[in-house]
Structures are given as structure tokens and as C-alpha cells.
Structure 1
Amino acid sequence: MHYHKSPKNRRVLALLLTGSLLFGGIPVYAGEYSNVELSAEDDGSDLTVDSDSAADMAASDDTVASEDTNLSIDATDSDVSTDEEGSSIAAVNSDKENESDDFSSDDSQEVFSDGTATDIDSELDYVLGRPMTDEEREAQLAMIPELTDMPVTDEVTSDLDIVPYALYPEEYNSAKEGLVTPVKNQSSTSLCWDFSLTSNIETSLLSRGLGYYDLSEEHLAYFWANRVNDPLVNTPNDKITRTNADYHGTGNGQVASFFLSTWSGMTTEEKVPFSSTTKTWPEDLAYDSAAYMEDAVFSEYDEDRVKLLLSEYKSVSAMMYWNLQNYTVNTAAYYQAVPKLSSNGKQMVNHAVTIVGWDDNYKKENFIDGPKPSRNGAWIVKNSYGTGFGDKGYFYMAYDNATFSNLVCNTASTSEEYNNNYFYDGASAGTVVFPGISNGYYASNIFKATAGKGKDEELGEIVTAVPQDNTDFQIQIYTDLTNPSDPTSGTPAYATPMEYTQAFAGIQTIRLEKPVKIPPGTLYSVVLQIPNGSQRYYLEKTSSSSSWFTTVAGIDANQSFYSADGKRWTDAAKSEYCFSIKAHTRTLSTSTVVTPDPDPDETPIVSPAVTPAVSPEITPEIEIPDDTPDTPEPTPTMTPTPTPVSHRINYNKNSSLGVGNMPSASSAQEKQTITVGNAPYCKTRFFAGWNTRSDGRGKSYSPGQKIQLNQNLTLYAQWNFTYVSSARLIYRVVGKQAVTCYGTTNKRITRASIPSIIRYKGITYRVTSVWANAFKNKSRLTTVSIGNNVSVIGKNAFYKCKKLKKVTIGTGLTQINSGAFRGVKKGCTITIKSLKLKKVSSKIDQSTSKMTVCVPRKKYKAYKKILWKKSRTVKIKKF
């Protein structure tokens, strides 16, 4: 891939060849000139040389200044000017052999191919190192297939006030890290969305160390449009139908992610190779999967958000609108200043691509055709038109473009520990949402345990799907339900519900704090409490349609429910929908026999073939060998078969502090893959990973890592008291997955962006406060932004920040403690977006003057009362 080709050699050629034309033949020695530029004067009589090169020339033994030449060089002006009467510069000694070696006729023709090359041309990042010929341009454009306009899928609600928790480098490219698979060619199909999402999945496998996979775009395209009932036969009547018969039609990454959460794919290119023409594939390939999607993050477009996603997931699929008038073929640069809108004002897209990196220094001058961006910087974008297109299959998109939408990131694995996937939303496309209930609500799906075929199952994961960031859940599992219309009519698995925050909109696989055993043939429920009633949830509806597809869902009674209080439940089938809630189990070797309580008047009958096992469990548990004969018979002496060696992972919390969400021990046979357990949490420490030694000096493992055991293993939790982000902000844990911004290690900090969340070792923490004295005496600090989860600003948090002139506080603020903004810059403006502020402990403008506090219009009177109670000198404005 091409990055910023140096124009030095061409400038040397330009200077010397132009000098030859202006002043006569000049023999040259190329080694003396390293940074010479031709001035853009009309008469061509001035030469511009930078000070270093001029000094080199003056000092050269081979350079003799003519008396007719006036050299004028200083620190700011390095022009070499000639007297009006002077007509030549003294010759530079050189032999003709060196001259011919250094400057061939081909070289000069490349620079002056049409007699119109300029300095600006030589600075551009041409993908071929030069402007293309007409034939080359036409060949590039011929690679673009016919595009179909379609409306953007409804955007999710992203909390774009979540500012980055890292200072990003000027350039990042996951392809350079070996995390991006080769560019492919969608040919004449409209499967750009498919190629983009497949690239996401392939990158996820590479970034997780699971190896290189060439996954099948054909499989995803075909079985999305020709859906097959799932292996647990819970979705026999769920269908997705394309408007056009050809399954190679247009699509969307969000819609496809819902389909992949059913684990219908992805398989390998070898099994289902790409075809640009329609084929019929066997149904038994529908759930033949080499990669299983686990998570899908959905996001709106924002520069900082994309950099955050790339840092975390290494690639981002995005929808866009491709307009040839906005594409510069010579530099493979694209910029669209305004979105493409339909007649009814809906944003339109017609292409999907994969963002794999960024370059803050990519020059705005590279955008020659169409509108020009106002600043440098571009995304490095992987396309699906083959390696001959653009810059080896890539192109560059300006940061401040108006066309990116429907961003998607994905994670995947090559095997699933909990490999039974229970769901009812086989035809869900993410186009319908439950609107919420004002004071919070409950959502639940009930499933019947059938995957074990008579064996017990263990529920270890659930899958949620929401269209907004920062969704809080309280999760409870009920087993042995007695009423199929009541999700809470069974036994709760947890004394108190498990709490979890889904940081990003989209689909998330959530590992349960403790797996739950499910007896065969029984009903169990996944119950989600969503305390914030304004937060929505994705649904599958009986029927839904768009311009390019229609879905039909076979929704039955006693599958999906909702409730305002968790007690009185409404069957969602009455409204013709069900919730997109999935449950992942694995089959155990045991079989729990569920029997009714015996009648006290009857004598219990015990089968002679089965002896009840003594068990400490409340529910009797019976081990039934698969091959138990009806009548015992003598067994002949045989050579014993070696028993498979099994190894076990145990987990030690390695702390005297309260620790929750500890994973259970698990085992696997030798050479079989096993997944390292989930991350526990502590209310005062950061979890830093697992280690084979309690002191952290052994081998480290990460939650979710796939390993093979050759011996029993005990892993010890590692804990950190503080975390310093790459933005040099200090964080400390103050509660369950909650942290405070404790301060900064940067004594010269000028801008502080305190995020709503941080991620550390793969765990999301909410930033809920700014600690007392956190930024005290940071005299260079001028600007502060505070995320939406921060509810409290501590005492003297910004005391004596004498240059602090602008503070923006998010939507979660409830309390400002005394002296928080004492002694900030005169005229400081503080904007409070929160509608929840209840307390200001002291005069907000203490030791300063002319402070303005901007508050929401609907809270103007209430906040004015709160603020003026402590200070009558602060100016209050509404917005």
C-alpha cells in the first residue's frame, strides 16, 4: 500500500532540468542536492532552496560562485536570485558518466510528461506514483459494479459524548499488524455488505489468535435469503425473502449480524465457494459453521468513536454512498460533503466497506475531484473490488465525510463452549424495537430444554440486543417453571439478580456469573430487568419489510413476555412479536430425573435396574450410563481400554476482598480446546487477568482465551489498585464495574476528556465521579469535558485551574461538591447537560468572577434556585 511517496528526487530533477533551460547547460553532480524546489514565479527566474541545501552548496569544494551571481541566504529567506545583468550560474564540476547514470530520459519524461506538472502535483500521493493515463482511469472505473440506492437502516443511539480514553497515534493500520485478510472481489454482485462483514469476522479471528480463515460470503448470502430451521427446531416458520430473486443482492451489516447470531454460518470458502451466478446449496450446509459470531457492535459515525472501535475491534464495517463525482481516481481518495437524501429526506447508501485504520496526516490536497475537505486526515478503507482497484484494493475517505452510517464491529470464535443456541428470532432483522415502559420494564423468553436429548444442560451464556449504548440489565434465570405463561414461576438461580451494562448498542453475548443446570425436558426462562424505561430492545415481528426484503416470523404463545413490575406478565405474541433474547447451553453427561412428590398413602416403587444415587443436591440426581443393560450379565475378562485423560482448570480469587462473578471450575480431555473462565469483579480493584502464580510471575491468560490442557491448572486472579490510561488519566474502582477519575499523571495537561466508560483488560467500567482534588493546581488546563455517567464532581476537583475557561458536563450529573471550580479563569463557562442536578455544596464561582453556567431550558428555574442559593454573582443562561 502506498503512503506519502517522497517528492525529493523529482524536485531535484525539476530544478536541474529547469535550470538547464533558463541558464544554459549545467553539468550536475546529483549528490550535492537534496532538497531543492522550483519556485512558482511566472518568469521562472528565481530558484528557492532551503537553508540546509543552500549551505551544502556553498560549502561544496566543487561549487564556485560566479561574480555575476548574487547569493542571498538567511534563516527565513533562502532564495537564490540573479542580478538583472547576470545570465548564468557557474558550472558544477561533474563527469558525464555520473550525469547519465543519475538522470535517464525516462526519469525526466515521468516528471514532465505533459508539460503541466506543478509542485502541488509532485506532493500528491498518487497510487501509481504519477497521474494515470486515460486508459488507466477507465480501467479503474470499470471495476465498480452497478450500485443500488437504498435507505439507511434506522440508526442506533450512540453516546458520542463517550470521549476516547486513549490518545491515539497519528496513524494506525490493522493491515500492517497482519490482522486483515486479503482484498477480495465481489465481481458483478451487490454483496459489498457481505464482503465487508466477512472481513470483520476474519479480522476478529486473527486478532484473537485463532488463525487465518477464508470465510464464505456465498454461504452468508445464500442462507440469509434461503433460511433453514435451526438445529433445535424452534423457528420452523421464520423466513426472509428478497424482493429480487437473486440472493446476490444488496444488504446491510446490521441486518446480517442478527442472522449470524443464529450461527447459520460462517463456513469456509472451500466448502461453499463464491459464485457470481445463482446456485442451489444443500440445506445441511445451513448451520455448518467454522466461525461463530459472538458480538456485534452498532454505532453512529463519529471520528473519535471510529478510532475507539478500531483500537478495540481492529476493523469497522460501514455503509456509505458512492458517487463517482466525489472520487479522485489518481489518489484513491473519496470525500462527500453532504449526505445523499431521498425525496422524503431519508439518507441513502449504496455501498459497504471496511475501515481498517486512519492517517491524521493524509493531505487534503489529495482530494482533487469533487468537494475538498477542510483539513488533513483520512480513513484507510478496504474495498471489495479486487486488488487492482484504488491503492492495491484500498482507498482513503476524509474524516469529515457525510456518508458513513450503520457502523458494525464483530467478534467471533471458532468453537463454542456453550454450543446449543436457543432462540425464537430467526427472522429478526433489527428493524423493530420495543419502545420501553416509563418506569422500567422486564423482558423474558421461555425455552424448553431439548438439546441434551435426555441429558442435563448447563446454561452459561445469554445474548441480548439493544439499539442504544449503556443499557443496564438485571439478569435472573428461573428453572423448573410450573406455569408456561409465567417466566417467574420457577426457581431463581441467583439470590440477587446479576447486574450487567452493555456498553455499546448491538448484539452481545453475556457470560453468566455462575452457570445454571437445566434438567432435560423442563422449562426455563431468561428474565431481563431494564430499569431505565426509555431504553429500547430489539424485537422480531410477525412480518416486516423494507425496500429489499420481507421477513415472516412464526411467533407462538408462551415464548416471549414483558411486564412493568416483574409479576404480571403479558404474552408478546398478542402483539405479534417476540424479544431477541437467546440462551446458550451445553449438554452434560448427567441426567436428572424429575418426579412428582410421592403420595404418602402409597409405597414407593424403585426400579431394580436403577439405584437412586445419594446426592447433596436438593433435586435428586441419577447417573444413568448410556449402555446399562436391562439384566446384569457376567462380563468376560477383556484387555482394559485406556481411559481418556481429563484435565481441570480451577480458579482462585487470590484476594481477601469481596469478589463476585468467579468462574466455575471446568474440565476437558487432553488435547481438547477449553475456554478460560470469565472475568470476576471486585468493588475496589481492577481485574488484570489470570495467572498460573498468585504473585503474577507465571503464565498469563485472558478471559475467553482458547487453550489446550496437558495437566491440571489453577489460575489466580490478578488485581490492580489503579489504572492509568494512555491519555494519562488515573482511575480507581469505587463499585461494581464503576470507577472514579482520580486525577492525571500529566502535570502539563491542557485538555481533559473524562469519558463515560473505560475498558480495561476487556472489561467495561462506568466512570461515575471525578475524585476530590483530581485536577487541583493544573495551571495549564483550559478545557474539560465530562461524560454522561459522571454523577458527582468531588471537592476541589478543579481548584486553582487558573486557565480553565470551558467545562462541558454530561447528562448524569447530580452533585457538585464544595470548591469544585474554585479559582478557575475569569469568565469561565460551564455547560451542564444533566436534568438530574440536586445539590451544589458551595458557591460555584468561588474565587473567580464573571462565570457563566449554561443549563437546559426546562431546568432553568430549578437550577437557578440551586445555584443562586450559594452565589448571586454567577450568570445563568439557558439552552
Structure 2
Amino acid sequence: MSKIFRKSAYLALTLIFIFTLAGQSFASALKPAPLNPKFVEWYGGQATSGKTRSSGAGKLNYGYAPSPVNWSHLGGLVYNIGSSSSSRRADTLPASYDLRSKMTAVKDQNPFGNCWAHSAMAATESFLIGRGLVSSTDIDLSEWYLTYFAYNPSNSVGAFTNNSEKPYYDYGADDWTAVALLSRGTGSVLESQAPVPASSKDVYAPLRTNRTYKLTNAWYLGNLGVKEVHLNDQRRDMIKRAIKEYGAVSVGIHFNEKDYYNEVTYGYMTNGSPSYTNHAVTIVGWDDSYSKDNFKESCKPNDNGAWIVRNSWGDWWGEGGYFYVSYEEPTLCDGVVYVTEQAPQNERIYEYDPLGLVQFIGYSKYGVESGSGSGETAPVWYANLFTAKGNDTLTSVAFYTSAPEQECEIKVYTGCDGSPISGKLVLTQKTTVAAPGYNTVVLDSHVKLTRHEKFSVVICTSSDKTGFVVPCEYAQDNYSENAVSHEGESWLSYDGVKFEDIADATLDSLPNANVCIKAFATLPGTSISLIPQSLEIDAGSKMTILALVTPQGTVVTWESSDTSVCTVDANGIVTALKAGNAVVTASTADNFAQCFVTVTGSPTPPTPAPTGGSSSGCSAGFAALALLALVPIILKKRS
């Protein structure tokens, strides 16, 4: 469709809406897409936890629970997400591709039902390794950090809903829960900062800490419940290109080891009878020549070829923790890549959607109810109005898109008073988002913000694949019941001129709704870093944390998150009291940095000081050299 024709269509449809919606609430004419049918089925009869992989009574589940997000409008669409030209040429795909040698060690989720966190972290680690940001031997991300904070509120941040009798670590989730957590800054953190408990008796609340890595994009490759066997070779190649350029892909599958797994060849394929997903795993490669004879006789595919898949049951299971899933496996679904970077040193997140995308909303008329392929729909505007917490610099925004090649126009206004376009327009930027999912857009020019001043991020978008294009968080039963919204936060418009507060609209089907737009800004003022970033100290001992601040002379205050574990005085001297973990925070007026402290052992009586000056001097000199040898910490600014 030409740009001229598209603009004409937009104008005509917009005029239709202006006359049709006159005298009624525009927001009330927006409806959510139908709920994910897998989500409806799941909460109609939840599967039984199968965290220990025993067959037991009821349906097995290893920690997968579907979200309400409905992607069925994507059908069997083929689209490219690769940034390089080589990723778009089919002739560049090898017959086999294997990332196993570049992956971290396979972990064992037992005894917990949190496969979703394992698959998300494996995909994240794979991306970081593939980009050369880390190696497979020096990266180990914490699955427990996601598992705990998914269903436990912290620091006024709401948690996802668990209305069952299952403990939070067995309740389950999927990629969109992981994306919501990571995009709000809850992870990724290192395993050393939130180690997995040894058993269900040892579960604990990890300390909230600054993320080490930041999720920037989470692109969706699947199309929900449409059986993989029905998809054409071009879409299979699309997933292969994604693996080659972005690393391992987190997917869902129905797994039944007893009935469908060949323990000799490590091949897996169901016979098509299972109708639900119960496990999250990670595709790390493929082998076009993997023999169809390697699968059980009762469920043998028609042709050779299999995905190489990483499980989360330890390296003792399968082929070093991996197995092979036929290209024709009918239960494979979802598919998300996790594009990640080193977390910025001084970033603040503005958001109203800590629980992330719950559903896309769109017009209740003009074709959106018919699903995909309904033709070009009229554009819709949605916006968030934020209050600047400091003299920050706005650098990027993030939002969800529902279709490939979705055109979006981003506008930023400052000095707003009332509606999101009541201020000064300071930036207009157009972009085409290649793939559906969570997307971060770096702004062409930075925007200076003034403390306490209101600013807005306004997005105009449409799609010829679906009319459900506005990403929304709201209080959905059995999922996001803890969603919160207030007047003056999120806005909607049919013409980009008249905006309606979503909180004022009568949206019975969207209680406590906000649109999903995040704004990322760098903080001003002082810089501060600590040496060391992490510290292990024996109970009864003392050690000094050095604060490096700019400008010199800036006042620094110190605080320990748990004074029963350790205290810290005004000079940064840490006194270890008992075994445990704590976070020591050094703060300036507008910035802060943290040191993760681990106290080991029990206090011991003091020993007499040695006599003789040479021994004392040597000890002091070694301590100073050890301090100088420590590498500088990444700056941790207030967010």
C-alpha cells in the first residue's frame, strides 16, 4: 500500500470516527482483544504442579502458566527481526547450528516449578554471550530473583496474582511475566546476589538490588497455539535467523517424558493429543538431518529435522541437559528473544505498568473483531503523562506493539498542564517496529526535563494486521488483580487533538487501566561509586567501603538494609554482626551507589595485637594494596 493511499485511508477513517463517536466517550469505544484462549482454559481447570517430574494424578505442569495476551491475529505470518542483511537471506542458513558450547551450565529447577524463569534467563544469557558482553563462564543470572518478585510485592510495586493454594515458587508464569519484571527493572541480577534455595524449606526473600542487565527488546516469534506442524518452511527459517542473530529463544511446549520421550536418542515428539502447554524450555539450535527414526514409533514425524532444546533439569538429564524436538512437534508455542544490555549507570524509569502488558485494546467497530487481515484501520493515539522527579534527561521510550512492521510516531511534550499535548512539543520521531513485542526506541535527540514539571510521551500507531494496537495494563482476574491507576496518568485519543483520561472513561472490562509506555532518563548531579561493589566479611570483623564522588566534598550518607547483619558508620566502615546478607547504600542528595555485603561465620573473641612494628606495617600495606587492586564499580544512580 502506497504512503499516499495509506494517508488518505487514515484521513477517511478518522473522519468517520469523528462523526461516529460524537457525543460518546471515545475510550468507551475501545475494547480489549479476546483473552488468550489458553489463559481461559488454564483458569478453568489448572494443571497439577509436577515440579519433581513425577507422573502423579492430574495434569502435569513444570511451572508454565499462560498470560492473557492474545497473539492469534498473527496467524502464520512470516516476518524478519534481524538487523543485518545476512539474517534475511535464506541461503545463509546452515543445515545445522548449535549454541550449546556457548551456553552457561544447565541448571536444575527441582524442587521448584519455575521453568519460565529458567528459560527467560537462559535466553538472556545467550544473547549477552553472543554479543560478546560476557562469556559462558562468567555469567550466571538469578532465576530465583524473578521467581520471588513475580508473586511478592516489594517497595510499593505490585505483584502478579496467585489465587491458588500453590506456593508462589510453584504457581508458574510465562515469558510475558518475565518481560514485565525485567522491563520495570526487577532483574536481571547475578546468581550470587539471589542464589537459588536448596529446598522449599530454605526459600527466602532476596534483597532488592539494582539490576545488572537491562532488557531493551523482547520480540515475539510464535503465534499462540497454532500448531507448529502447520507452519511453512519460511516461518521456521524466521526462527532460525532469530536464533543465529539474537541467541536462544524461550518457548513453550507440552512435555510428557513417559509417553513421548526417547531416552536413548533424546528425541521428543507428541502424537498431537495434548492440548495444553506445561513447560518452558529454550531452543539453542537445530539439525536438519536429525533422523525421524530417533523418535518413538508411536509418534514418529514424517520428515527429518529437529530443534536442539535446553531443559532445566540439570546436566545429568538428556544429552547433557539437552534434547531434540521434531520440527513437526504440534505443541511448540510462544517464542521470545531477550535483547539485553549492560544496565545504565544512572537511569530512572518512568512508568505506570509494573505488571506489563495484559492485553491490547482497539476499536470495537470497523473490523478489529474479525482478527487479522481486516485491512488498514484508523490510527489511534495513546499517551502517558509523567511528573519529572529531577532535572533528568529523557533518552528513550519503550512500549509494546501487536504486529510486525508497525508504524509508530512518537511525540514528547514538556511543561504540560492538563492534557498530554497541552505543553511544548519538543520531539517528533517516526519509527517502524519490525517485530511484535516489547520495544525500546532510542530518541533521536535528548529531552531536558525540569524537576516537578509534567511531561508526556504520545504515540500514534495503526496496523493492517489488527485494530488492537494499544498496549494496556489493567486488573485482570487471576493475573494482574493488583494493577493500580490514577487520574491524569494515561490518555487516549481518536484524532490526536482531543484526549480522554482513561481513568474517567467507563471501561468496565478494563478496571484500573493504564497504557504501557515507559520513559527512560539519565539523572543529573553528582556521580558516586563504591569500592568494592560486593564484600564478603567474617562476623565480628570490620572493613571500609570507599566512596568515590564527584564533585569532591559532596556529603555522603550511609545506610545498611539490615542492621542485624551489619552496620555502617558515617565513614563507610562496615561492622559485621552475624551471618546473612545486606545491602549498604551510600547516598548523595540526588544519587546513590550500593555494595552487596555477605557476612559469614559467627563473631569470635578478639586476639591480642601482635608486637613489633614491622608486622603491623606489613599488614596495613597489604590491605591498602588489596583495596587498590579492586576494579571500579559501575555507577548506581537513584531510580
Q: Tell me the TM-score normalised to structure 2 length.
A: 0.63
Distance 2:452 2:362 in 1: 33
Alignment counterpart, residue 481 of structure 2, candidates 543, 547, 551: 551
Output the amino acid matched with 1:166.
A
Distance 1:258 1:472 in 2: 23
Offset of residue 418 of structure 1: 6.0
Offset of residue 326 of structure 1: 1.5
Alignment counterpart, residue 463 of structure 1, candidates 392, 398, 403: 398
Give the direction of change, closer, same or farther, for the CA distance of 1:566–1:287 in structure 2 (3 Å limit).
Answer: farther
Give the match for residue 422 of structure 2. Answer: 489
**Counterpart contact for 1:265–1:286, Cα < 8 Å:** no
Give the match for residue 238 of structure 1. Answer: 158
Offset of residue 255 of structure 1: 2.0
Distance 1:530 1:142 in 2: 46
Counting only pairs closer than 5 Å after superposition, residues 240-255 of structure 1 correspond to structure 2 as: 240-242=160-162, 243-249=164-170, 250-255=172-177
Distance 1:471 1:207 in 2: 27
Counting only pairs closer than 5 Å after superposition, residues 320-719 of structure 1 correspond to structure 2 as: 320-323=253-256, 324-338=258-272, 340-341=274-275, 348-416=276-344, 419-428=347-356, 430-436=357-363, 438-450=377-389, 452=390, 456-483=391-418, 486-494=419-427, 497-532=428-463, 534-537=466-469, 539-546=471-478, 549-574=479-504, 575=507, 576=511, 577-589=513-525
**Counterpart contact for 2:149–2:159, Cα < 8 Å:** no
Give the direction of change, closer, same or farther, for the CA distance of 1:201–1:261 in structure 2 (3 Å limit).
Answer: same
Distance 2:487 2:194 in 1: 37
SS at match of 1:528: strand
Output the amino acid matched with 2:436.
A
Q: Does 1:268 align with 2:171?
A: no
CA deviation map 1:341-398 (0-9, x unaligned) = 2xxxxxx110110000000000111013431100010000000111111111100000
Output the amino acid matched with 1:444.
A
CA deviation map 1:229-260 (0-9, x unaligned) = 3xxxxxx3633232345121222112221221
Output the amino acid matched with 2:95.
E
Alignment counterpart, residue 216 of structure 1, candidates 142, 165, 189: 142
Give the match for residue 597 of structure 2. Answer: none
Give the match for residue 257 of structure 1. Answer: 179
SS at match of 1:198: helix
Alignment counterpart, residue 148 of structure 1, candidates 61, 67, 82: 61
CA deviation map 1:441-492 (0-9, x unaligned) = 1010011111x3xxx2110010111232222101110011122xx0001111
**Counterpart contact for 2:310–2:321, Cα < 8 Å:** yes
Output the amino acid matched with 2:296.
I
SS at match of 2:178: helix
Higher helix share: 2
Output the amino acid matched with 1:543.
A
Give the match for residue 95 of structure 2. Answer: 170
Give the direction of change, closer, same or farther, for the CA distance of 1:151–1:197 in structure 2 (3 Å limit).
Answer: closer
Give the direction of change, closer, same or farther, for the CA distance of 1:514–1:244 in structure 2 (3 Å limit).
Answer: farther
Distance 1:273 1:145 in 2: 28
CA deviation map 1:62-112 (0-9, x unaligned) = xxxxxxxxxxxxxxxxxxxxxxxxxxxxxxxxxxxxxxxxxxxxxxxxxxx
Distance 2:90 2:517 in 1: 33
Output the amino acid matched with 1:580.
C
Offset of residue 539 of structure 1: 4.1
SS at match of 1:519: coil
Output the amino acid matched with 1:162.
Y
SS at match of 1:188: coil
Distance 2:166 2:268 in 1: 32
Distance 1:628 1:413 in 2: 30
Give the match for residue 95 of structure 1. Answer: none
Give the match for residue 128 of structure 2. Answer: 205
SS at match of 2:77: coil
**Structure 2: gaps (5+ residues):** 1-50, 81-87, 223-227, 229-234, 365-376, 527-550, 556-631, 633-639
Distance 1:272 1:214 in 2: 11
Alignment counterpart, residue 308 of structure 1, candidates 227, 230, 241: 241
Distance 2:52 2:152 in 1: 31
- Give the total of aligned pairs: 430
Offset of residue 588 of structure 1: 2.4
SS at match of 2:61: coil
Distance 2:326 2:119 in 1: 19
**Structure 1: gaps (5+ residues):** 1-140, 230-235, 342-347, 591-624, 630-707, 709-879
Distance 1:394 1:207 in 2: 19
CA deviation map 1:371-429 (0-9, x unaligned) = 1100010000000111111111100000011111111110112222661111111123x
**Counterpart contact for 1:326–1:369, Cα < 8 Å:** no
Give the direction of change, closer, same or farther, for the CA distance of 1:278–1:165 in structure 2 (3 Å limit).
Answer: farther
Distance 2:120 2:65 in 1: 19
Alignment counterpart, residue 77 of structure 2, candidates 160, 167, 182: 160
**Counterpart contact for 2:106–2:312, Cα < 8 Å:** yes
Distance 1:513 1:493 in 2: 11
SS at match of 2:120: helix
CA deviation map 1:566-608 (0-9, x unaligned) = 1111111233311110000001239xxxxxxxxxxxxxxxxxx
Distance 1:391 1:626 in 2: 57
SS at match of 2:168: coil
More contact order relative to length (CA 8 Å, sep ≥ 6) = 2
**Counterpart contact for 2:385–2:489, Cα < 8 Å:** yes
Give the direction of change, closer, same or farther, for the CA distance of 1:142–1:416 in structure 2 (3 Å limit).
Answer: closer
Distance 2:470 2:315 in 1: 38
Give the direction of change, closer, same or farther, for the CA distance of 1:205–1:332 in structure 2 (3 Å limit).
Answer: same
**Counterpart contact for 2:188–2:214, Cα < 8 Å:** yes
Q: Tell me the TM-score normalised to structure 1 length.
A: 0.46
SS at match of 1:513: strand
Superposition CA RMSD, Å = 2.7
Distance 1:436 1:498 in 2: 25
Distance 1:152 1:541 in 2: 16
**Counterpart contact for 1:327–1:370, Cα < 8 Å:** no
Give the direction of change, closer, same or farther, for the CA distance of 1:458–1:389 in structure 2 (3 Å limit).
Answer: same
Give the match for residue 227 of structure 1. Answer: 153
**Counterpart contact for 2:463–2:469, Cα < 8 Å:** no
CA deviation map 1:279-305 (0-9, x unaligned) = 56457x234322221211112154222
**Counterpart contact for 1:436–1:537, Cα < 8 Å:** no
SS at match of 2:100: coil
**Counterpart contact for 2:269–2:326, Cα < 8 Å:** yes
Give the direction of change, closer, same or farther, for the CA distance of 1:354–1:395 in structure 2 (3 Å limit).
Answer: same
Distance 2:247 2:491 in 1: 37
Output the amino acid matched with 2:381.
Y
